[in-house]
Amino acid sequence: MNMDLICQMAWYFFVYAFLGWCTEVVYAALNHGKFVNRGFLNGPVCPIYGFGVVTVLFILEPIHDKFALLYLGSFLLTSVLEFVTGAVLDKLFHKHWWDYSNERFNIKGYVCLKFSIIWGFACLIVVDMVHPFVRDIVSLVPQKLGAVILLVLTFAIIADMIMTVVGINKVSKHLKLMSATAKELRELSDSLGSGISDKAIHMAEKHESNKAERSQKREQIREKIAELQKRYDDLRTGTPMTARRLHSAFPKLNMIEKLDEIRNKSLRDDRE
């Protein structure tokens, strides 16, 4: 594969990743009545669209005039790409980024017949109507300037990927830390409440030999509870921005719901 072809494919990747992001934004706006950054990344790109269209173009453009074969190939290629992408993201982050489980004829929730049919028709439109225009525009970009722009875009998307992965890991650690702190707080509260009732304390303090030791132990537990409560309150009010953004883009991740579940459970335990 020569360098010119690589540059062309890189241009097509970025163009269609951006157009895919625009499509997702329009779709979300029509459904929810507001802007939602529907991308996995922070920037205005959806890489899966870029990879999908480039794959279809690279493999199927030679048969672009054979509509039945082009449709069937697009249907299969986009379905495989969506399935593999969903499975890999699930494996890496232990999260289902999209879920078609409620759709008929789905495979593990990663792909479903309805959207595979839609992707097939979308690729027909792209290959026959959109791509000739995109190809002409890309051909107008001077080679040296194009190389610089592609280099900048490549570094930008790599940096964005790194930031997103770090953000996702931060959210996961935040959830684990909140759960661990809440659990430790409940255990200490239980040990203080169930182990020492008011009557037991009153009786124990009659024995001078044990009074100081028991008081010291209770005070240590109270100090530890106060420390954990402060730590938990700080975590409760510090929901990472990545969690909010990804929750908007991928509601089925339930990141905010998980944070709220932990918070609400702690509040119930505090009242009890």
How many whole angstroms from its chain centre is CA 146? 31
DSSP letter (8 states) at residue 110: T
Round to whole Å and give the CA distance between 98 and 47: 15
DSSP letter (8 states) at residue 14: H
Segment 117-131, tens digit of pLDDT: 999 999 999 998 999
Q: Using CA of residue 10, residue 11, residue 16, residue 18, what is the dihedral sign?
A: positive
C-beta separation of 46 from 24 below 8 A: yes
Extents of the domains making up the chain = 3-140, 165-271
190 forms bridges with which residues in the sheet? none
Segment 135-189, tens digit of pLDDT: 999 999 998 899 999 999 999 999 988 888 887 777 667 666 666 666 666 666 6
40: tokens are: 């996995």
Segment 185-215, tens digit of pLDDT: 666 666 655 544 444 445 545 554 455 666 6
pLDDT for the residue 119? 93
Chain-wide mean pLDDT for the chain?
A: 77
C-beta separation of 38 from 29 below 8 A: no
Q: Which residue in this structure is represented by tokens 């792209």?
A: 126
Amino acid at 9: M
Helix (H, G, I), strand (E, B) or coil at 96: coil
Task: Provide the 10 A C-beta neighbour count for residue 27.
Answer: 12
240 pLDDT higher than 80: no
C-beta separation of 16 from 127 below 8 A: no
Round to whole Å and give the CA distance between 252 and 226: 35
113 pLDDT higher than 70: yes
